[in-house]
Amino acid sequence: MTIYRGRWSVETLFKIVTKNFEGEIQTLGYLKAALFYFCLALVSYNILAVVRRTLGSVHGVGKIESSLSELYLVDEIQGTYRGMTIACEPDHWSFIQAWSLS
């Protein structure tokens, strides 16, 4: 029974990653890119889990579980990212182009 409950924890994680973080890309040509993209989605899920736990410790787990929308929380985080890309000049990110793919 414990293993079965653990399985549903993992299934729920993948559902949240797929729904909110678009954890898979629709290309077969770039396997390393797809793996990297999926790993970023999992890291994003971990950040979401930390935010949920922190809010739960302040406001109570029951209130967070019943009333916090993951969709809106993810949208807020994505909006902050979009704002940062507007506020930061492109040359702040230019050094990333020199990174190796391997």
Residue-wise pLDDT tens digits, 29-71 = 777 777 787 888 888 888 888 888 999 999 998 988 888 888 8
CA distance 23 to 61: 26
Q: Which residues contact 31 (CB under 8 A, 6 or more apart)?
A: none
Query: How many domains does one find in the chain?
Result: 1
Q: Is residue 9 part of a domain?
A: no
Q: Is residue 2 part of a domain?
A: no
pLDDT at 47: 85
DSSP code, position 89: -
Q: Is residue 3 part of a domain?
A: no
- Polymer length of the chain: 102
Range of the domain at 71: 17-89
pLDDT at 57: 93
| Residue 20 contacts residue 74 (beta carbons within 8 Å) | yes
Q: Is residue 5 part of a domain?
A: no
Torsion (CA) 47, 72, 25, 33 in degrees, nearest 10: -30
pLDDT band, residue 95 (cuts 50/70/90): confident
